Structure 1
Amino acid sequence: MGAVELLTDDLAPMRSFYVDAVGLELLDETDDRLSLGSDGEEVLGITRAADRPADIGTEAGLYHSAIVYPNEQSLATALLSVATVAPTSYSGSADHAVSLAFYFSDPDGNGLELYTDTPEDEWVWNDGLVQMGSAALDPNAFIQEHLGTTPTDSGATMGHVHLRVGDLEKARAFYADTLGFAITAESEDALFYAAGGYHHHIATNTWGTAGATARPESLGLGSLTIHLGDKGALLAVADRLTDAAATFTHDAGVITVDDPWGNTVRLLA
């Protein structure tokens, strides 16, 4: 997964949250855009968008972007920072069996997950689907157990993106059949998709948005970026989009396409 682009009407509180609290690096800054990342690689772009209404949770859009850390220690460092600088942003946590996840809301109300994966050889797969749970996970105990016990190099990247959509079968047709992701898990009113044997790179749910139609122009999600790994895969996606009569652009090695609800997806080789 590549960077997620967020749209905001006020860069200052978003800068404070993602840099001072979460601990992302400020890679570049202009009057209208922040580029934030880790180890010099962009994880989030935040662009000023004037005269747009706030994102509404009952419409299609971003459920959360999810930043993955390479180990429990680097995640514990980030969690302590958020707890110190922006404690009211915390919204929950869970042991998902494949990952240990902590949830927050940024100043604009965008969902944010900070997580680390559990050992891959402990993931349980049945008939191509991975078993994910939602067991209790104490954030204070996690920080106390892992803070400072081994190297804390961040290496944070965008692990997955979870979207609000209006219909799961349309989501399946777009993200699985057309873009080419495998279905890796199904739960009540949610589908999870991945490539390369990961638990999920994309998720879609209708938990509060069943029946939602095209997104109104709003703040929140601007776009999400997916790196496919080779030019052949990108060309294959272009062929499937053409066969599906989808409207898209393919320019300079980048495909830009909206899902059925107007969530913008950028695909690169």
Structure 2
Amino acid sequence: MSEPIHPETRIGHVHLKVADLDRALGFYCGVLGLGLTQRYGERAAFVAAGGYHHHIGLNTWESLGGSPPAPGTTGLYHLALLYPNRAALADALRRVEAAGIPLDGASDHGVSEALYLRDPDGNGVELYRDRPEAEWPRDPDGALRMVTARLDLDSLRREDG
């Protein structure tokens, strides 16, 4: 077995094939609030939060007018956007609900709180926030214990932003 990679290594970005670039930008920028950092002609764009060059790339190079993959096929399960705190996650929930986008699910994993939905191309999107590590549930031997419980959406909606 090889040595682990550097512990500060992170996923830098995700690049998605989409059927309609403007529709995808309407979701990622218009609903979720990411900023358009660059448009690459009429077939690709890059979006991000906080002035980063890009967290998500969107392109129609091989998918213009295409349809989502059929159930039972391999590919992306979901991409996840990590919000800095519960208030920011609550803002994301308000944006999604205001746009009329249904949730596929909402879970409390003990270590995090997560909302699950689909973008206009059927790609899974997770919007989540991590709890502080000191609050993570652990077994008596100290091992991390992730759970899946129903997230209290009413409590999240009441969160001040």
Are the equivalent residues in 2 in contact too, given 1:2–1:43 (CA < 8 A)?
Answer: yes
Once the two structures are TM-superposed, the CA of residue 138 in structure 1 deviates from its matched residue by 2.7
Number of aligned residue pairs: 146
Q: Aligned match of 1:62 in 58, 76, 79?
A: 76
Are residues 128 and 110 of structure 1, via their aligned partners in 2, closer, same or farther at CA, if it must alter by over 3 Å?
Answer: farther
Once the two structures are TM-superposed, the CA of residue 57 in structure 1 deviates from its matched residue by 2.9
| 1:177-234: CA deviation from partner (whole Å, max 9, x where unpaired) | xxxxxxxxxxxxxxxxxxxxxxxxxxxxxxxxxxxxxxxxxxxxxxxxxxxxxxxxxx
Q: Aligned match of 1:49 in 45, 56, 61?
A: 61
Q: For residue 104 of structure 2, give the secondary structure of its aligned residue in structure 1.
A: strand
Once the two structures are TM-superposed, the CA of residue 125 in structure 1 deviates from its matched residue by 4.5
> Structure 2 CA distance, aligned partners of 1:131 and 1:36?
34
Paired position in structure 1 for 2:6: none
> Structure 2 CA distance, aligned partners of 1:129 and 1:60?
31
Paired position in structure 2 for 1:161: none
Once the two structures are TM-superposed, the CA of residue 140 in structure 1 deviates from its matched residue by 3.4
1:10 and 2:27 are equivalent in the alignment: no
1:104 and 2:104 are equivalent in the alignment: no
> Structure 2 CA distance, aligned partners of 1:72 and 1:96?
14
Once the two structures are TM-superposed, the CA of residue 39 in structure 1 deviates from its matched residue by 0.7
Unaligned runs of 5+ in 2: 1-10
Once the two structures are TM-superposed, the CA of residue 64 in structure 1 deviates from its matched residue by 0.7
Once the two structures are TM-superposed, the CA of residue 136 in structure 1 deviates from its matched residue by 1.2
Once the two structures are TM-superposed, the CA of residue 79 in structure 1 deviates from its matched residue by 1.5
- More strand as a share of residues: 1
Once the two structures are TM-superposed, the CA of residue 129 in structure 1 deviates from its matched residue by 5.1
Once the two structures are TM-superposed, the CA of residue 128 in structure 1 deviates from its matched residue by 8.2
Once the two structures are TM-superposed, the CA of residue 137 in structure 1 deviates from its matched residue by 1.1
Paired position in structure 1 for 2:49: 38
Are the equivalent residues in 2 in contact too, given 1:89–1:106 (CA < 8 A)?
Answer: no
Unaligned runs of 5+ in 1: 149-269
> Structure 1 CA distance, aligned partners of 2:134 and 2:152?
24
Are the equivalent residues in 2 in contact too, given 1:95–1:136 (CA < 8 A)?
Answer: yes
TM-score w.r.t. length of structure 1? 0.51
Q: For residue 69 of structure 2, give the secondary structure of its aligned residue in structure 1.
A: coil
Once the two structures are TM-superposed, the CA of residue 53 in structure 1 deviates from its matched residue by 5.3
Q: For residue 66 of structure 1, give the secondary structure of its aligned residue in structure 2.
A: strand
